[in-house]
């Protein structure tokens, strides 16, 4: 039997053998860490999305109430006037007063139709003064809440300037009617009557107050802004149509008037066709006829019939005009409006 060295020399300690620990599965540990990190990331992302959604809803509600720009200003102190202006009752009360004013305006016009020129219904005058005082109180309340600088030079300055302009027009109307009633208390001459009529026409400017609804109704404001954004295309389309009205109007008027002059100064004078003179007697009348013929104001066949016995050139020119305006210009504008920007 073969002996090991430490068995031959028992006084020597046997060598210590150490066993290396098993290596850990590093890839498995890293994968679990990544799973936990990904899970924490998804949870944090869900919380951030929920918070962003809540902030978006709050900003959307503020936008519908016309409070954009007010929520972001930390300098505003929660005074009683600011709480009043931001309250839902105040935001709902102002549109109600505006609509009430418009209804009273229509009722006043109907009831005043049978009165003498200088007669007025005092109840409507009092109601108008009360409404103007309400608008004045609203402006003062906003001034106290926001201050002059933020109100007329802040983000909502255009709305506030328009409110001030409409209020100034209302004050001008009240003062003008009061002065006219004092000056023209006696029998009015034609000049004074025209002045009163002008003031009554200025009374219709109360309808401008309906523009203040745009500040409080976001859906209505969106529609109006969409219409305003198309005004550039409407202007150039209208300019093109006016040019076409003028060109074809001059041509057909020249043909119609030459025909009527020939009949009038013939050896046996004859009267010109009334229908021909109705539609083609002058350039402005011809332009109006051409406008009405493409907007269903009048049937273009009715405009065409008087030209049958006058000239084939006028007949063809009217047909060419209808083809150009209806099938080319208007359809092109409609297609460009429906297409991508």
Note the Cα 29 to chain centre separation in Å: 61
**The predicted structure's pLDDT at residue 113:** 76
What is the topology classification, in CATH, of domain 80-216?
Answer: 1.20.120
Predicted model pTM: 0.54
Q: Which residues contact 276 (CB under 8 A, 6 or more apart)?
A: 256, 259, 260, 306, 307, 310
If we measure between CA atoms, which residue out of 130, 107, 110, 94 comes closest to residue 209?
Answer: 94
| Fold observed for domain 231-338 | Helix Hairpins (1.10.287)
pLDDT at 71: 43
Buried b (16+ CB within 10 A) or exposed e, 262-283: eeeeeeeeeebbeebbebbbeb
State how far the Cα of 296 lies from the Cα of 291, in Å rounded to an integer: 9
**Where exactly are the structural domains of the chain?**
80-216, 231-338
Cα 167–chain centre separation: 21
**Rounded Cα–Cα distance for residues 207 and 102 (Å):** 6
pLDDT given at position 24: 47
Q: What is the DSSP string of 114-132?
A: GS-TT---HHHHHHHHHHH
CA-based torsion, 141, 147, 153, 155: positive or negative:
negative
Q: Which residues of the chain have pLDDT under 70?
A: 1-41, 54-78, 117-118, 181, 183-209, 212, 215-216, 335-341
Report the distance separating Cα 143 and Cα 135, nearest Å.
12
> Is residue 249 exposed (0-12), middle (13-18) or buried (19+ Cβ within 10 Å)?
buried
Intrachain domains 80-216 and 231-338 with the same fold = no
pLDDT 10s digits, 236-286: 888 999 999 999 999 999 999 988 888 887 777 788 888 888 899 899 999
> How far is 295 from 43, CA to CA, in rounded Å?
61
DSSP state for residue 87 in the 8-state scheme:
S
Predicted pLDDT of residue 253: 93
């Amino acid at each position: 039997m073969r002996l090991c060295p430490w068995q031959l020399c028992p006084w020597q300690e046997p060598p210590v053998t150490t066993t290396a620990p098993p290596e850990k599965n590093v890839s498995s540990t890293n994968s679990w860490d990544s799973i936990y990190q990904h899970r924490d990331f998804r949870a944090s992302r869900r919380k951030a999305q929920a918070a962003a959604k809540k902030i978006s809803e709050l900003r959307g509600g503020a936008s519908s109430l016309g409070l954009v720009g007010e929520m972001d200003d930390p300098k505003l102190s929660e005074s009683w006037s600011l709480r009043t202006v931001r309250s839902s009752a105040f935001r709902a009360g102002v549109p109600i007063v505006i609509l009430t004013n418009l209804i009273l305006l229509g009722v006043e016009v109907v009831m005043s139709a049978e009165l003498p020129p200088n007669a007025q219904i005092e109840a409507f005058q009092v109601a108008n003064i009360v409404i103007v005082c309400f608008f004045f109180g609203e402006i003062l309340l906003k001034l106290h809440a926001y201050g002059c600088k933020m109100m007329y030079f802040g983000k909502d300055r255009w709305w506030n300037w328009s409110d001030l302009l409409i209020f100034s027009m209302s004050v001008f109307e009240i003062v003008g009617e009061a002065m006219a009633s004092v000056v023209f208390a006696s029998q009015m001459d034609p000049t004074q009557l025209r002045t009163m009529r002008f003031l009554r026409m200025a009374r219709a400017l109360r309808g401008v107050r309906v523009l203040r609804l745009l500040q409080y109704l976001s859906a209505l404001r969106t529609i109006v802004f969409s219409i305003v954004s198309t005004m550039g295309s409407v202007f150039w389309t209208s300019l093109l149509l006016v040019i076409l009205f003028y060109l074809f109007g001059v041509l057909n008027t020249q043909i119609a008037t030459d025909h009527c002059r020939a009949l009038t100064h013939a050896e046996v004078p004859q009267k010109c066709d009334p229908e021909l003179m109705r539609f083609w007697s002058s350039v402005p009348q011809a332009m109006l006829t051409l406008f009405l013929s493409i907007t269903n104001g009048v049937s273009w066949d009715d405009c065409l019939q008087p030209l049958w016995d006058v000239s084939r050139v006028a007949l063809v020119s009217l047909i060419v005009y209808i083809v150009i305006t209806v099938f080319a210009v208007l359809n092109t504008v409609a297609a460009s409006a429906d297409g991508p920007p």
